[in-house]
Amino acid sequence: MALFVEVAKRKSFSQAAAALGMPISSLSRRISMFEQMVGLRLLDRTTRRLVLTSYGEAYFTQATRLVEEAQQAFDDLVAETKGPSGLLKIAAPPDFWVLHHLSRIVTDFSARHEHIRVHVDLKPSTIDLVGGNYDLAVSIEEPRETSLIMRKVAEVGNGLFAAPAYLDTYGRPKAPRDLTAHRAIVPTQGADTTWSLSRAGEVVPLPVKGPISCNSPSLARRLALAEQGIISAHRLSVERDLAQGRRAMREIG
């Protein structure tokens, strides 16, 4: 059946034989034997061309579908033996900790699953998992969509951070109310921003403001390193700066 489909598709014994990797004489003989077995002529052969008979046309239509289904079943079987395959689309925020940790995770995953292609989409804004056709998203904030399957993978602590030189210039806040006199690098322009500070079970909401705002955590970190103010950030985002001590960033509180 598969030999007939290949010949009928190409309308050429020579081209079909080349595609199948077999001699033309063997292919022609196999087709002739098949026609003798069914008792019908499926192909009209001339020196110039190959034409399907009405029986050949009808058989070709049905046989093509069966051959394609058989090939798909074979491909699926081979894929099962090789393990998972396809595209894994991941959305994540463009923060330093993502670039540092996710790159290692993706590298390890790709080494274990060589037949899976991975695409990482760094998005600074709220992620639309359904509209963006994502399989997985990494997020610090809890998604608004309640129908999503969520799993906590780690606890990430928050903190207030500033460059040592900024603290030397403006002073180090000793109590939450002291922050109102400081320059805060906030995420939204012209809008009131409230930092919720907690310690020992007590939560203190504190309105803050500053002359500089940006919606990128990575840029906010760089602005803080440039002594432009205090940021509220996840510790993972500034862990390399904290490791440098007074030369880069210090935690407040």
Assign 161 a pLDDT band (cuts: 50, 70, 90). very high
Average of per-residue pLDDT values in the chain: 85
Q: What is the predicted pLDDT for the residue at 155?
A: 75
Distance of CA 220 to CAs 27, 43, 223, 225, Å? 70, 73, 5, 9
Residue for token digits 């274990």?
112
Do 238 and 188 belong together in one domain? yes
Pairwise CA distance, residues 141 & 126, whole Å: 9
Q: What is the predicted pLDDT for the residue at 216?
A: 82
Do 110 and 173 belong together in one domain? no
Average pLDDT over residues 184-207: 83
pLDDT tens figures, 51-66: 899 998 999 999 999 9
Pairwise CA distance, residues 203 & 215, whole Å: 24
Pairwise CA distance, residues 74 & 108, whole Å: 29
Assign 231 a pLDDT band (cuts: 50, 70, 90). very high
Whether 126 maps to a domain, the answer reads yes
Q: What is the predicted pLDDT for the residue at 92?
A: 86
Read off the CATH number of the domain in which 224 is found.
3.40.190.10
Q: What is the predicted pLDDT for the residue at 103?
A: 86
Q: What is the predicted pLDDT for the residue at 74?
A: 84
Q: What is the predicted pLDDT for the residue at 125?
A: 65
In degrees, rounded to 5, the angle at the alpha carbon of residue 32 between the alpha carbons of residues 27 and 34 is 95
Residue 156 or 146, more confident? 156
Do 94 and 73 belong together in one domain? no
Do 27 and 64 belong together in one domain? yes
Q: Find how far residue 123's CA is from the centre of its chain.
A: 11
Q: What is the predicted pLDDT for the residue at 184?
A: 93
Q: What's at 224, amino acid-wise?
A: A
Is the model's pTM score more than 0.75?
no
Residue 182 or 99, more confident? 182
Q: What is the predicted pLDDT for the residue at 162?
A: 93
What's the DSSP call for residue 205?
E
Q: Could you list the residue range(s) of the whole structural domain that residue 122 is in?
A: 86-137
pLDDT tens figures, 79-113: 777 777 889 999 888 777 777 778 888 999 999 88
Do 235 and 206 belong together in one domain? yes
Average pLDDT over residues 161-176: 91
Do 179 and 241 belong together in one domain? yes
Written as six digits, the tokens of 95 are: 């923060």
Pairwise CA distance, residues 162 & 160, whole Å: 7
Written as six digits, the tokens of 157 are: 């602590």
How many independent structural domains does the chain possess?
3
